[in-house]
Chains A and B, each alone.
Chain A
Amino acid sequence: MTHTGFRDTVAEPMPSLREGPMPRAPKQLGEVVLRVRGLKKNFGDAVVLDGIDFEMRAGEVVGVIGPGGVGKSVFVKICCGLMEPDEGHVEVLGTDLLASDQKTKQRLRERVGLVFQNYALFDFMTVGENVAFPMVQRGLAKADEIQVKVQERLAEVDLPNVRHLMPNELSGGMKKRVGLARANINDPELIFFDDPTAGLDPVTSSKIFNLIRRTQAHRNSTCLVISHDIDRMRPACDRYILLLNGLVHFRGTEADAMHSQDPIVKEFFRKGDGSKKPSDER
């Protein structure tokens, strides 16, 4: 299909993203894209992060789980440079985030995406303008190229016909998908998802996790996904870390967790953060 402009363009759905079984990205033991050492963060007397050590390699999808208020969102915000830690070292895509000046951080952010828990769509822009916004601001592409890419990204998240709507006209699940399309517009190498299924029904939650996996596999990006919904995030994640009392309590694959003798780990992976009782499995 030839794209001639925004208004008369209908992007073809991308078969690899929309149909067939979810492709799994090949395991890559490539370079480290995120390295965190001794990360500490307190809010007043409350210790939230108490020395987190963590590494992520290119192409991985890592799930971050833990009880509410354990500091998962704080962890992600520090990794994105939105919050300063009290102590520790954060290296994102080979750049020391905390030692970087503002310009370096800006350049780094062009290679990193974040999907917010509460959507964070710009409510004064249409959906199309929201998704186009990062490209428009960078000014590296022509207007018609931007619109074609916007249409492609919206089609990838199964929302090809909403670009003229305002965010307040969308459902929660649609807003999450628009957030994903916006985060993907610059083809980031590393994407953080801050509880992408918070407040969504189980069916929509499953769709969102499938979408995360498909998008990751299609672009070979690296994803860090925070969620409480461990049952539905299973198909999306290669491995997990469990945060507890400000530390990484467990790290490993689902199989590692199932074979763990640690009762807390077993409890989390069997019951999904306590939201599902063992009796429900019958």
Chain B
Amino acid sequence: MNPLATIGAGFLDASETLGGIVMVLVRILRAMVPPRFDRDETWLNLYKVGVKSYPIVIMTAFFTGAIMVIQSGVYVKQTGATGLLGWGAGYAVLAEIGPVLIGLMFSGRVGANNTAELGTMKVTEQIDALRTLAIDPTHYLVVPRFVSMMLMLVLLTVLGDLFALVGGAITSEFVLEVDYRVFFQGVFNSNLLDEFFTGLIKAITFGASISVISCHYGLSVSGGATGVGRAVNASVVSNAIGIFVFDSIITWFANSSLFR
């Protein structure tokens, strides 16, 4: 195939996907002004998305905090700068590692599940059935997922931050023999509130992007079970790309001299 044609086809595919994602976002925003969405479905999604995700988030965050302390342990031992241990772990967890890692875990667990669920509904004509029953799928299915994912990713990030710091403190106490009070002193004395709020902004943005991208792929499935598999795969990849793109943008803004 002509290389130019390949590039052109790829560009058109990417444009179509991006256009589809933007259209889903526009439909969600239109459905939210004034807010019209199914209350029961929202509660159900808050449970599925949030409550069912906390064990994996706690585990991921705990070990991430622990690993960060172990990694920095070599230098802390060499320099004896134990006071910096809490600052280093806190800074990295609150601003970067916490929201990004939890976002990636969330996209793998919740985003992929969402695409598979909506995709299966699409290929089994359940979405069409909603429309013929005079029920707008955006109001009934998409908006509750959007609200739940945004809200729950923020809460899960706060929970994850907390457990990452706990993991770091326990590791510093038992592996590096640095008192956990020294660790937490390092965290709290460093005034990491800006980093904490930057992390929350990232979590809201990741939640929105994961929900919109996963809903787009789910609702545009065609071709039966194979199509659902392809859509889930594409959704996971796109969500990861989305997380890193938005992470870069927000980090750049947060560190820009304009905001200092």
Residues of chain A at the chain B interface (Cβ within 8 Å): 77, 80-82, 102, 106-107, 109-110, 112-114, 116-118, 120-123, 133-134, 137-138, 182
Task: Enumerate B29-69 residues with CB–CB distance to A below 8 Å.
Answer: 38
A118 B133 Cβ-Cβ under 8 A: no
Give A106 to B131 CA distance when docked, in angstroms.
Answer: 8
Q: Which 7 A-B pairs have the closest CB atoms?
A: A120-B129, A109-B134, A120-B125, A114-B132, A134-B133, A110-B134, A106-B134
Partner of A137, one of B128, B132, B133: B133
A118 B135 Cβ-Cβ under 8 A: no
A109 B133 Cβ-Cβ under 8 A: yes
B128 A82 Cβ-Cβ under 8 A: yes
For B124, B128, B129, B140, which residue has the most chain A Cβ atoms within 10 angstroms? B129
A137 B126 Cβ-Cβ under 8 A: no
Q: Which residues of B contact A82 (CB under 8 A)?
A: 128, 131-132
Q: Which residues of B contact A118 (CB under 8 A)?
A: 124-125
**Is B136 an interface position by the 8 A CB rule?**
yes
Give A136's nearest chain B residue, CB to CB: B40
A120 B124 Cβ-Cβ under 8 A: yes
Give A110 to B130 CA distance when docked, in angstroms.
Answer: 11
Give B38's nearest chain A residue, CB to CB: A137
Give A80 to B124 CA distance when docked, in angstroms.
Answer: 17
For B131, B133, B140, which residue has the most chain A Cβ atoms within 10 angstroms? B133
A116 B129 Cβ-Cβ under 8 A: yes
Give A137 to B131 CA distance when docked, in angstroms.
Answer: 12
Known: A77-B128, A109-B133, A134-B133. 8 other contacts (CB 8 A): A82-B131, A102-B136, A109-B131, A109-B134, A120-B125, A133-B135, A137-B134, A182-B133
A-B residue pairs in contact (CB < 8 Å), sample of 21: A77-B128, A81-B131, A82-B128, A82-B131, A102-B136, A106-B136, A109-B131, A109-B134, A110-B134, A112-B132, A114-B129, A117-B125, A120-B125, A120-B129, A121-B129, A123-B124, A123-B126, A133-B133, A133-B135, A137-B38, A137-B135
Q: Which residues of A contact B126 (CB under 8 A)?
A: 120-123
Q: Report A176 CB to chain B, min CB distance, Å.
A: 13
Q: Which residues of B contact A123 (CB under 8 A)?
A: 124, 126
Q: Report B148 CB to chain A, min CB distance, Å.
A: 16
Q: Which residues of A contact B125 (CB under 8 A)?
A: 116-118, 120
Q: Which residues of A contact B129 (CB under 8 A)?
A: 114, 116, 120-122
A109 B132 Cβ-Cβ under 8 A: yes
B128 A120 Cβ-Cβ under 8 A: yes
Give A64 to B135 CA distance when docked, in angstroms.
Answer: 27
Q: Which residues of A contact B132 (CB under 8 A)?
A: 80, 82, 109, 112-114
Give A80 to B134 CA distance when docked, in angstroms.
Answer: 11
Give A116 to B129 CA distance when docked, in angstroms.
Answer: 8
Given the known A-B contacts A120-B125, A123-B126, are A107 and B131 also in contact in the complex, defined by CB atoms under 8 Å?
no
Give B130's nearest chain A residue, CB to CB: A122
Give A182 to B38 CA distance when docked, in angstroms.
Answer: 20
* Bitwise interface map of B from 225 to 259 toward A, beta carbon under 8 Å scored 1, else 0: 00000000000000000000000000000000000
Q: Which residues of A contact B124 (CB under 8 A)?
A: 118, 120, 123
Give A194's nearest chain B residue, CB to CB: B125
Q: Which residues of B contact A110 (CB under 8 A)?
A: 134
Give B139's nearest chain A residue, CB to CB: A137
Give A182 to B132 CA distance when docked, in angstroms.
Answer: 11
Q: Which residues of A contact B128 (CB under 8 A)?
A: 77, 82, 116, 120
Give A130's nearest chain B residue, CB to CB: B129
Task: Enumerate B108-128 residues with CB–CB distance to A below 8 Å.
Answer: 124-126, 128
Give A57 to B136 CA distance when docked, in angstroms.
Answer: 29
Q: Report B127 CB to chain A, min CB distance, Å.
A: 9
Give B117's nearest chain A residue, CB to CB: A124
Give B134's nearest chain A residue, CB to CB: A109
Q: Report B128 CB to chain A, min CB distance, Å.
A: 5
Q: Report A187 CB to chain B, min CB distance, Å.
A: 13
B133 A107 Cβ-Cβ under 8 A: no
For B126, B132, B134, which residue has the most chain A Cβ atoms within 10 angstroms? B132
Give B40's nearest chain A residue, CB to CB: A136
Q: Which residues of A contact B135 (CB under 8 A)?
A: 133-134, 137
Give A116 to B127 CA distance when docked, in angstroms.
Answer: 12
Give B30's nearest chain A residue, CB to CB: A102
Give A107 to B132 CA distance when docked, in angstroms.
Answer: 10
Give A109's nearest chain B residue, CB to CB: B134
Give A121 to B125 CA distance when docked, in angstroms.
Answer: 9
Q: Report B141 CB to chain A, min CB distance, Å.
A: 11
Give A123 to B132 CA distance when docked, in angstroms.
Answer: 17
Q: Report A119 CB to chain B, min CB distance, Å.
A: 8
Give A159 to B131 CA distance when docked, in angstroms.
Answer: 25
